[in-house]
């Protein structure tokens, strides 16, 4: 199969490439990524000489058209006299850092939304690929409480422009000669392998099925050949074989199993997994009819046949077995369902109440509006799925720094409380694992099981019970306790549904379009990325501190070596002077220069030293005479 995949992939790569490109790409608006300069103004004096971008803010706005009228609105007032027309190519007033005029829009609920006066960057920035919320969905959400304009007062926008400037994109090198847009290359390879693999796997299915059928037939033949000839068996061979295997694991006689079922296993002889297996070997009507025909030959019946025959003599055997299994399984099923319901309830409450999350969204909204222009800018809110796209925007200066890293640095400086956001959202990881559809299905199954047990209990109460039958007293006590526990679970689930719906509305999401595992999973994934980015920054700081410490140590060692070198040099200089004088003297002696130059001086010195010795001896003699 691997060889076939390789060959077909070589032949069909062009076809698959075109298929994947046409099915997994969508048209992209160029205005979302490229900032075009404003068009030059029309010539003065023309009918369109008045431009909204060049009109002073003091001029009154255009009056709206009359309702139910086809007449055009009256012309705009002329521009104030005396002012020269703007030069060609001059940027409009709003792109010069001045905020646009504050106007008011209305949502579908009639609530007014004040027009945002967002500061304008001095040059184009990278765009933040968020999903903008429509203004109609803002009313009654967290975005009504958020004022991103407050964040601009504390943010260093000049530094932000340096980090995420669009002009520096070309500085980032790409090793591959062929670009890979948005994971398109990996998508193409995965699509190719999956399509080709599926193509060839289907060709192998008939042979595999034939092989499995042959193996199954051989196993059945083996069982039939090894079965005792004298035993009577009317049950299917494979089913009888599996039943014998189960009975050998139980290690109980047929009568012991029968008594355990009648007494509702008060002695705990039957484990849950064994009960589940016993339910697979409930006698069917066809089996019961055949066994009844040979009931006079019970001693000749094979082990599986005799077991099924004796169990069929118990009234409502299948219903009893199901009730017993439900009773044993109920605490476990309740213990699994309740934490999931609580996780949805608590996580919904935490998201609605979290103040740190509101501050975080406020800063993200401010940066997004500062980066995005046109239809993607001036947003009042964004979909929560956009949180996990923050890390996709990389810095123009350092590709290792993303917008998420930069946000954390901003939080460390201006909003330190946000760094501990996970303490307010502790139940998100558990809630992100909950599939509400499966949870509701499980709760409904428990409810159906309880009703089935109640129905069987009513039936058993109306009939005559044989000796040792404990179904009614045991299951009556169980129903009393289980019904109360289940009602608590059901009430908790209803509360969780209601709170989850409020959480969706709180963030402007459509109810019914997003399951809890997806909704909470978005926040959980973001918090994991948030923690990883914090750790990245910590590692970067430690690395920088280590490099600075190493540089200081190297500088100190270099200075110490230089000092020792100077000391050695100074010491070596003094020694060389002394040794130099001695060397000069030896050289003079060897060459004889000392005798040529200083011979007369040497004679005079010897004569002088001789005279001094004579005078000393005379003085000594005189001294002796005096004494």
Q: If pLDDT is split at 50, 70 and 90, which confidence band does 492 have? A: very high
DSSP β-ladder status, 104-106 and 112-114: antiparallel
Local structure of residue 142 (DSSP, 8 states): G
Q: Which long-range contacts (CB under 8 A, 24 or more apart) does 501-506 make?
A: 502/348, 502/352, 503/347, 503/348, 503/351, 503/352, 505/140, 505/141, 506/141, 506/142, 506/351, 506/352
**Residue linked to tokens 């193996």:** 215
CB atoms within 10 A of CB 564: 10
Is 467 contained in some domain?
A: yes
* Spatial distance between the Cα atoms of 278 and 310, rounded to a whole number of angstroms: 14
Question: Residue 486 is part of which domain span?
Answer: 333-522
Is 206 contained in some domain?
A: no
**Is 460 in the same domain as 495?**
yes
Residue 72: alpha-carbon gap to chain centroid:
54
Q: Cα–Cα distances in Å, from 105 out to 113, 116, 131, 586?
A: 5, 10, 20, 108
Check residues 234 and 625 and name the one with the higher pLDDT: 234
- Residues of the chain with pLDDT > 90, as a percent, come to 38
**Is 270 in the same domain as 390?**
no
Helix 237-250 with 303-312: angle, nearest 10 deg: 80
Choose among 151, 152, 135: nearest CA to 143: 135
- Pick from 522, 549, 582: which residue ends a domain? 522
**Is 310 in the same domain as 412?**
no
Is 425 contained in some domain?
A: yes
**Is 411 in the same domain as 500?**
yes
* Spatial distance between the Cα atoms of 556 and 504, rounded to a whole number of angstroms: 61
Q: How would you class 102 by CB atoms within 10 Å of its CB: exposed for 0-12, middle for 13-18, buried for 19 or more?
A: exposed
Residue pair 218/241 in contact by the 8 Å Cβ criterion: no
**Residue linked to tokens 């025909």:** 293
**Is 261 in the same domain as 152?**
yes
What is the number of H-type helices and E-type strands within the chain?
16, 2
Choose among 343, 344, 392, 340: nearest CA to 371: 392
* Spatial distance between the Cα atoms of 128 and 388, rounded to a whole number of angstroms: 11
Question: Residue 493: what pLDDT?
Answer: 97
**Is 374 in the same domain as 260?**
no
Query: pLDDT tens digit string along 520-572?
Result: 999 999 999 999 999 999 998 898 888 888 898 988 888 888 888 888 888 77
Residue 287 has pLDDT above 90, yes or no: no
**Is 418 in the same domain as 361?**
yes
Question: Residue 18: what pLDDT?
Answer: 37
As a whole number, the mean pLDDT across the chain is 74
* Spatial distance between the Cα atoms of 140 and 506, rounded to a whole number of angstroms: 7
Check which CATH number belongs to the domain holding 434 and give it: 1.20.58.2220
Instruction: Look at the chain and report how many structural domains it folds into.
Output: 2
**Residue linked to tokens 């003094």:** 574
Q: What are the two backbone dihedrals, phi and then psi, of residue 418, each rounded to the nearest 5 degrees?
A: -65, -25
- Pick from 280, 314, 348: which residue ends a domain? 314
C-alpha angle 76/78/83, rounded to 5°? Answer: 140
Check residues 169 and 392 and name the one with the higher pLDDT: 392
Predicted model pTM: 0.61
Residue 290 has pLDDT above 70, yes or no: yes
Is 375 contained in some domain?
A: yes
Question: Residue 160: what pLDDT?
Answer: 85
Sequential DSSP letters for 328-354 = HHHHHHHHHHHHHHHHHHHHHHHHHH-
Q: If pLDDT is split at 50, 70 and 90, which confidence band does 151 have? A: confident
Question: Residue 464: what pLDDT?
Answer: 86
**Is 367 in the same domain as 501?**
yes
Q: Cα–Cα distances in Å, from 240 out to 227, 228, 237, 256, 289?
A: 11, 13, 5, 20, 16
**Is 296 in the same domain as 358?**
no
Residue 136 has pLDDT above 90, yes or no: no
**Is 363 in the same domain as 481?**
yes
* Spatial distance between the Cα atoms of 391 and 128, rounded to a whole number of angstroms: 10
* Spatial distance between the Cα atoms of 604 and 392, rounded to a whole number of angstroms: 101
Q: If pLDDT is split at 50, 70 and 90, which confidence band does 124 have? A: confident
Is 577 contained in some domain?
A: no
Lowest mean pLDDT, pick from 183-187, 315-319, 382-386: 183-187
* Spatial distance between the Cα atoms of 362 and 367, rounded to a whole number of angstroms: 9
* Spatial distance between the Cα atoms of 508 and 380, rounded to a whole number of angstroms: 11
Residue pair 167/410 in contact by the 8 Å Cβ criterion: no
Mean pLDDT score, 397-407: 89
Mean pLDDT score, 569-594: 66
């Amino acid at each position: 199969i691997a060889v076939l995949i390789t060959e077909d992939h070589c032949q069909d790569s062009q076809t698959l490439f075109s298929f994947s490109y046409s099915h997994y790409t969508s048209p992209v608006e160029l205005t979302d990524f490229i900032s075009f300069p404003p068009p030059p103004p029309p010539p003065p004096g023309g009918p369109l000489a008045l431009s909204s971008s060049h009109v002073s803010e003091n001029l009154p706005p255009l009056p709206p058209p009359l309702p139910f009228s086809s007449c055009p609105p009256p012309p705009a007032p002329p521009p104030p006299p005396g002012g020269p027309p703007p030069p060609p190519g001059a940027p409009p007033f709003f792109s010069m850092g001045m905020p646009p005029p504050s106007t008011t829009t209305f949502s579908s609920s009639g609530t007014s939304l004040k027009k945002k006066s967002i500061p304008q960057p001095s040059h184009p920035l990278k765009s933040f690929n968020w999903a903008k919320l429509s203004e109609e969905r803002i009313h009654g959400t967290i975005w009504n409480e958020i004022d991103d304009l407050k964040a601009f007062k504390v943010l260093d926008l000049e530094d932000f422009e340096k980090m995420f400037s669009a002009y520096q994109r070309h500085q980032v090198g790409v090793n591959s000669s062929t670009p890979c847009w948005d994971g398109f290359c990996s998508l193409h390879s995965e699509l190719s392998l999956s399509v080709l693999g599926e193509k060839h796997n289907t060709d192998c299915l008939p042979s595999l099925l034939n092989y499995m059928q042959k193996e199954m037939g051989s196993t059945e033949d083996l069982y039939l050949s090894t079965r005792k000839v004298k035993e009577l068996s009317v049950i299917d061979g494979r089913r009888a074989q599996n039943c014998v295997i189960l009975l050998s694991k139980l290690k109980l006689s047929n009568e012991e199993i029968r008594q355990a079922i009648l007494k509702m296993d008060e002695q705990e002889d039957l484990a849950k997994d064994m009960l589940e297996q016993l339910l697979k070997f409930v006698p069917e009507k066809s089996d019961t009819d055949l066994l009844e025909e040979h009931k006079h030959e019970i001693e000749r019946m094979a082990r599986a046949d005799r077991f099924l025959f004796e169990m069929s003599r118990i009234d409502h055997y299948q219903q009893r077995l199901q009730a017993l299994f439900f009773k044993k399984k109920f605490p476990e099923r309740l213990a699994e369902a309740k934490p999931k319901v609580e996780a949805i309830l608590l996580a919904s409450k935490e998201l609605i109440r979290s103040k740190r999350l509101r501050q975080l969204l406020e800063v993200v909204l401010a940066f997004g509006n500062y980066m995005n222009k046109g239809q993607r800018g001036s947003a009042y809110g964004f979909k929560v799925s956009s949180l996990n796209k923050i890390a996709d925007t990389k810095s123009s200066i350092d590709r290792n720094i993303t917008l998420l890293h930069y946000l954390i640095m901003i939080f460390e400086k201006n909003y330190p409380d946000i760094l501990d956001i996970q303490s307010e959202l502790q139940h998100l990881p558990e809630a992100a694992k909950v599939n509400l559809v499966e949870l509701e299905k499980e709760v409904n199954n428990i409810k159906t099981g309880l009703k089935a047990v109640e129905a069987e209990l009513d039936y058993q109460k109306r009939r005559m019970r044989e000796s040792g039958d404990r179904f009614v007293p045991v299951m009556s006590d169980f129903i009393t306790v289980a019904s109360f526990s289940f009602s608590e679970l059901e009430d908790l689930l209803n509360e969780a549904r209601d709170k989850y719906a409020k959480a969706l509305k709180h963030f402007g999401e459509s109810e019914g379009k997003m399951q809890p595992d997806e909704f909470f999973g978005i926040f959980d994934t973001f918090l994991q990325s948030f923690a990883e980015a914090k750790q990245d920054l910590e590692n970067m700081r430690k690395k920088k501190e280590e490099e600075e410490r190493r540089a200081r140590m190297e500088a100190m060692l270099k200075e110490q070596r230089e000092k020792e070198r100077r000391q050695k040099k100074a010491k070596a200089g003094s020694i060389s002077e002394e040794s130099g004088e001695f060397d000069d003297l030896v050289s003079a002696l060897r060459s004889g220069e000392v005798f040529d130059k200083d011979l007369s001086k040497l004679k005079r010195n010897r004569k002088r030293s001789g005279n001094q010795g004579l005078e000393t001896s005379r003085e000594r003699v005189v001294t002796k005479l005096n004494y």
